Structure 1
């Protein structure tokens, strides 16, 4: 019994303490029973909930526009690889070509030389073009050797026909220049080997037009050729004075 009284006393004491620390209660309610009161203030937000499970995969989207084809910047050069084996020797190259300037200079020099030769040919009293040659003469009479030097000084040599056409052209020069009957020299001689006429460079003659019984080396003293009025050839002494007709070749 005593124990029960003690328990009840402790319970009353606890209630008193709790009521004493709480805020005073407004026992006078302004509203009537059954009428809702004014809403209270929102409470503090709760904690975020945990992520839900992944949903189902959606349908495949439409194809996008093509991207711009832009080349990226080149990367850094890598290290050099090992040297390869020496290849086979290639075929020889084509010969080099002259530069335009060198070619023009060469052409100008050639033209100047050609003009100079033409001027020399035109300086004679009689000249006739025969192919790439000019037969020219002033009617001067010289020995064979002096005649060779005379023609050489003009860039030529004593005339020597190499075809029938050239021989006919030479005959016309002879007749038109007042040398009729004077037997001009031609560049043929057998001074090296008797009976074997060659040109002054020792080359065999490719064309001849000797008269009947010629060359006859009369009295053993005729070693140089001449042309007579008929266009035929004859041999005479090289030291005699005969007209000199030069041929100047222009290319």
Structure 2
């Protein structure tokens, strides 16, 4: 009996404390019953505060398969490893030509300039009354007569010099020019002189002659005044005075 009273008293104190915590008015704790006799059950107290969530429970069974999603492409996955190399394909069609390199462009410009200069020289050569091509040279004349030095300047103005055969073939071609131009009997100048050293004929640049075709007994420096060369109607050479008026035949080299 004493234990039952002690349990009821503890229960009432606990209920009273819960009412104080919830801010509720304390219940009337007067017991109409006599001591030792259990009273009527009291009113239910207010609900307590929510407790904390308990520890995660066991994983439930797998649910049923859901409905398929819409036709929406998801984000691409990670790239997989590279596959083996495929077979070599067929050769493609040629591409468009690339731009020329700077070196090629400069070379092309130089070639064009050289070609233009060559064309200009040919135009000068064919402007004369008589002209003949010999290798890379043109022998040209229009019957102009002058002293040796004036003749050199005349030919220089056309980009050339007084004619000087360097081979037997060129000497023969020069003879044909003499015949066709009607200058055979006038002994046109050739570009040889011994002004520097008497009896030693060289070209106007002081170089030794690669070819000579002197007439028998020539050069003889007649009366000591014959320091320039000429060509006769036989194609043989003779020395003449440099100040005399002789036909000027120019040679224009086409490089």
* Structure 2 residue aligned with 1:230: 234
- From 224, 232, 240, the counterpart of 2:244: 240
Give, in whole Å, the separation in 1 of the partners of 2:184 and 2:160: 23
* Structure 2 residue aligned with 1:156: 160
Shift of 1:69: 3.9
Give secondary structure in 1 for the equivalent of 2:151.
helix
Query: Residues 199, 98 of structure 1: CA spacing in aligned structure 2 closer, same or farther, 3 A cutoff?
Result: farther
* Structure 1 residue aligned with 2:140: 136
TM-score, reference length from structure 2: 0.61
Matches within 5 A, 1:207-218: 207-218=211-222
Give secondary structure in 1 for the equivalent of 2:199.
coil
Of stretches 106-115 and 240-249 in structure 1, the one that deviates more from structure 2 is 106-115
Give, in whole Å, the separation in 2 of the partners of 1:167 and 1:201: 20
**Residues 80-112 of structure 1: CA distance to partner in whole angstroms, max 9, x if unpaired?**
xxxxxxxxxxxxxxxxx9622111111110111
- From 124, 130, 148, the counterpart of 1:126: 130
Give secondary structure in 1 for the equivalent of 2:195.
coil
Give, in whole Å, the separation in 1 of the partners of 2:154 and 2:239: 21
Query: Residues 203, 98 of structure 1: CA spacing in aligned structure 2 closer, same or farther, 3 A cutoff?
Result: farther
How many residues are paired up?
160
Give, in whole Å, the separation in 1 of the partners of 2:105 and 2:202: 43
Give secondary structure in 1 for the equivalent of 2:185.
coil
- Structure 2: segments with no counterpart, 5+ residues: 1-79, 84-100
* Structure 1 residue aligned with 2:176: 172
- From 188, 205, 209, the counterpart of 1:205: 209
Give, in whole Å, the separation in 1 of the partners of 2:133 and 2:102: 33
* Structure 1 residue aligned with 2:189: 185
Give, in whole Å, the separation in 2 of the partners of 1:186 and 1:120: 20
Shift of 1:142: 0.3
* Structure 1 residue aligned with 2:119: 115
After the TM superposition, which segments of 4 or more aligned residues of structure 1 sit over 2 Å from their partners? 68-71
Give, in whole Å, the separation in 2 of the partners of 1:104 and 1:203: 35
Give secondary structure in 2 for the equivalent of 1:181.
helix
- Structure 1: segments with no counterpart, 5+ residues: 1-67, 72-96
Give, in whole Å, the separation in 2 of the partners of 1:131 and 1:233: 22
Give, in whole Å, the separation in 2 of the partners of 1:175 and 1:98: 51
**Residues 18-73 of structure 1: CA distance to partner in whole angstroms, max 9, x if unpaired?**
xxxxxxxxxxxxxxxxxxxxxxxxxxxxxxxxxxxxxxxxxxxxxxxxxx6459xx
Query: Residues 180, 70 of structure 1: CA spacing in aligned structure 2 closer, same or farther, 3 A cutoff?
Result: closer
TM-score, reference length from structure 1: 0.62
Provide the alpha-carbon RMSD of the alignment: 1.6
Give, in whole Å, the separation in 2 of the partners of 1:237 and 1:211: 16
